[in-house]
Amino acid sequence: MTYTKAFFEQLDKQDPLASFQAKFALNAGEIYLDGNSLGARPKAALARAQQVVEQEWGQDLIRSWNKHQWFELPYRIGNKIASLIGAQDGEVVCTDATGLNLYKAVSTALQLNPSRKVVLMEGSNFPTNNYMVQGLLSQLGDDYQVRFVEEAQLLEQIDEQVAVVCLTQVHYKTGRVLDMQAITEYAQQKGCLVVWDLCHSAGALPVDLNGANADLAVGCTYKYLNGGPGSPAFIFVAKRHHNRAQQPLSGWWGHSAPFDFKRDYQPGFGISQMLSGTQAILSLTVAEVGIDLMCAADMQALRKKSQALTRYFIELLDQECGQYGFELVSPRDDEKRGSQVALSHAQGYPIMQALIDAGVIGDFRAPDILRFGFAPLYNSYVDIWEAVQRFKSIMDNEHWREAQFNQRHAVT
C-alpha cells in the first residue's frame, strides 16, 4: 500500500491513548522524537515544582520531612514504578542515578554468588554501565573481571565462570530488545544472577520482572517516564534476595534505624537498604508527575501504539526516502524493536542537524547513526507523516549540505 496523510489521521482518531497528548507541554510545529533521551514535560510538572519550592521548602521548611513525607518518596514512587515493570510493592525504590544503582545492584549480585568472579556485559552497551562495573571490580581485586560480549555470542558466553549477567534490555543505539525471560532462565540454569538495565524499557514497553524471575534491575525515569532532566533513577531487588547481601553505598537512609544515629552501619530490611543518603527532593517530587501519567496508561495499548509508530515510520521512510541510502539499524521485527528507530547514513550528522533545524528533533550517535524515539503518550501518528515529509524535503533539496555543524552530542 501507499501511505497517505489521511491514513495517519485516521489512526489518530482511533488511538485509545490520544487523550494523553494534551497532558504534555509540546512546542507548536515541532515533532519531538527524542523522548528516548529526555522525555517531554508533563504540564502538571510546573505546578508541582512551584508547590514544592514555595510551600514545601519555603513555608513548611524542615517540617516537610514529615508533613509532606519526603522520607517516603523513594518508596512511594518506587511502588508506582514497580507497577510498570512487573514488580511488587516493596521491591523498588526511586533514588540516586542509574549508574550508582547499577553499582549497588552488581555488587549485591556478586555477593550472592561468591564463588564466581566474572561479570558478563555487552561491550556495545551504553558505556556508563561498563564504566561503573569496571570501577566496582577495581575495588574488589584482580581476580574479578568483566567479560564483554556481543549479542550473537551472548548465550554461549554465559557459562559456569560467570557470576552476574548484566544486560540492557533495549539497546540504547539500535533499539533492539533482548528476550528477558529466555536469557534470565538460561543464565540462572548456568548458576548466574541477572541484572537488567531498563533505561529504554520502563514506560516504553511492558516489562514483567517477576514473570521473568529477574534478580535485580535498574533504570532511569527521565526518558519514557518523563520525570525531568536527570531525575532520580530506580533499583529493583527481587524479594527472595532481600536481606541476604549488603550494598556498599551504605548511607544513613539505608540504615535499619536511621534516626538512632548509631555509630555503626546496620542495613535496613528489604529494599530500604538500597537507599544511600539524602535525596534531591525537588527532582524527585517532580519526577512523580511523569510517573503518575504513565501509571494511568494501559501498557499493552502503549506497546501496540509504539510498535505501530515505529513500524509506520520505517515504512513511510522506505516509501518517501528509499533512494537515499539509509540503512535500518533497528530490528524490522516489531517484537524485537523497542520504542525507537535507528538508521545509519554516511552523512548522518549533517542530516540530523538539518532535521533539527526543520523542527524534527532526533539525535545522532557516532559514527553514523540517526536515532528517533517514539513516545506513545505524546507522539501522534500524524507526527510520522509530518516528520517524514520534512525528512524528504531535506533529502530532495540536499538541505543537509548547509546544516550548521553546531550540534554537540546529546545525552543517551
* Closest CB to its own copies among residues 64, 347: 64
Nearest to 17 by CA among 382, 380, 383: 380
CB of 27 to its own copies, least distance (A): 6
Give the nearer residue to its own copies in terms of CB position, either 7 or 71.
71
27: phi then psi, degrees, rounded to nearest 5:
-80, 130
Q: 345: annotated binding-site residue? A: no
The residue range among 8-16, 35-43, 162-170, 382-390 that interacts with its own copies, by the rule CB under 8 A, is 35-43
Closer of 261 and 335 to its own copies (Cβ): 261
* E strand or H helix at 305: helix 299-321
Q: How far is 159 from 176, CA to CA, in rounded Å?
A: 23
**What is the nearest approach in angstroms of its own copies to the Cβ of residue 311?**
24
Query: What residue ranges in 133-255 does DSSP mark as E strands?
Result: 145-149, 162-168, 193-197, 216-219, 234-237
Which cell goes with 20? 494523553
Binding range to its own copies, per CB under 8 A, among 56-64, 80-88, 292-300, 330-338: 56-64
Helices 98-112 & 127-140, crossing angle to 10 degrees?
Answer: 50
Interface with its own copies, residue 154, by CB under 8 A: no
Asked whether residue 264 is marked as a ligand-binding residue, the answer is no
What is the contact mask toward its own copies in residues 188 to 227, using x (rule: CB under 8 A)?
Answer: --------------------------------x-x-----
Tell whether residue 108 is among the known ligand binding residues.
no
Minimum distance, C-beta of residue 389 to its own copies, in the bound complex (Å):
21
Tell which positions 363-392 bind its own copies, by CB under 8 A. Answer: 363, 365-366
Residue burial 87-104, b: 16+ Cβ < 10 Å; e: rest: beebbbbbbbbbbbbbbb
135 in contact with its own copies (CB under 8 A): yes
Q: Is 252 annotated as a binding residue?
A: yes
Residue 126 falls in the annotated catalytic set: yes
Q: Which of 107, 108, 168, 201 binds its own copies (CB under 8 A)?
A: 107
Binding status of residue 281 toward its own copies by CB under 8 A? yes
The residue written with cell numbers 549508574 in the block is: 99
Question: Is residue 278 annotated as involved in ligand binding?
Answer: yes
* 197 annotated ligand binder: yes
- Supply the DSSP string of 371-405, one letter for each residue: EEE--TTT--HHHHHHHHHHHHHHHHTTGGGT--S
Asked about 103 being catalytic, the answer comes back as: no
Site residues for its own copies, window 308-327 (CB under 8 A)? none
143 touches its own copies (CB under 8 A) = no
| Residue 145 makes contact with its own copies by CB under 8 A | no
CA pair distance 2, 197, nearest whole angstrom: 38
Buried b (16+ CB within 10 A) or exposed e, 393-410: ebbeeebbeebeeeeeeb
**Whole-angstrom Cα distance, residue 236 to residue 227?**
18
Of the candidates 23, 41, 80, 223, the residue annotated as catalytic is 223
Contacts with 47 (C-beta within 8 Å, 6 or more apart), sequence order: none
> How remote is the C-alpha of 335 from its chain's centroid?
18
182 touching its own copies, by CB under 8 A? no
Contact (Cβ atoms closer than 8 angstroms) between residue 43 and residue 412: no
Q: Is 255 annotated as a binding residue?
A: no
Of residues 15, 91, 96, 215, which one binds its own copies by CB under 8 A? 96
Q: Rounded to whole angstroms, how far apart are CA atoms 175 and 329?
A: 8
Among residues 128, 157, 210, 389, the one that binds its own copies under rule CB under 8 A: 128
In contact, 341 and 330? CB cutoff 8 Å: yes
Q: Does 108 bind its own copies (CB under 8 A)?
A: no
Give the residue, chosen from 127, 327, 393, 397, that forms a contact with its own copies under the rule CB under 8 A.
Answer: 127
Q: Name the segment binding its own copies (CB under 8 A); options: 2-10, 152-160, 185-193, 261-269.
A: 261-269
Binding-site annotation: residue ranges for pyridoxal 5'-phosphate: 98, 168, 197, 200, 222, 252, 278
> What residues are labeled active site?
126, 197, 222-223, 371
